[in-house]
Amino acid sequence: MPMYICKCCSFSTILKTNYTNHMKTNKHILKSKINVTDNTSKQITNVNATSILDKDKEIAFLKNQIEKKDKQIETKDDQIEKKDKQLDMQTKIIEKLLDKCN
Ligand SMILES: [Zn+2]
């Protein structure tokens, strides 16, 4: 069973000296650097994905708010219509009363 494993190079050895030597090779240094860069770019992607999700949630929330406001406006419109009808009725009554006075 290998005791020392370098994951980035898929390198394994039972001898510590071999492992230490491997760590000093250009091949390993290069590979480990690439891996570090990979991790960094993955982290950035994750941050972007999270912020996009947050934006989606924000947009969904705002859409919900707009829908609620739309419904409120509809209700207000209904109320205004009713008031208009009441005003019409009252105007007619006043007109009739005025007619009687004349
Ligand atoms: Zn290595």
pLDDT for position 48: 66
Q: What is the pLDDT of residues 24-67, one digit of tens each?
A: 999 998 888 876 666 666 666 666 667 778 888 889 999 999 99
Task: Kindly tell me if the per-residue pLDDT of 23 is higher than 80.
Answer: yes
DSSP state of 12: E
Per-residue pLDDT, 80: 95
Q: What is the pLDDT of residue 100?
A: 87
Q: How far is the CA of 5 from the centre of ligand 1 (A)?
A: 8
What is the 59 CA–ligand 1 centroid distance (Å)?
46
Q: How many Å lie between the centroid of ligand 1 and the Cα of residue 22?
A: 6
Q: What is the reported pLDDT for 52?
A: 77
Question: Would you state the pLDDT for residue 40?
Answer: 61
When divided into structural domains, the chain yields a total of 1
Distance 17 CA to ligand 1 centre (A): 13
pLDDT of residue 101: 81
**Cβ atoms of 19 and 4 closer than 8 Å:** yes
For residue 34, report the distance from its CA to the centre of ligand 1, in Å.
11
Going by C-alpha positions, the residue among 9, 16, 52 that lies closest to residue 32 is 9
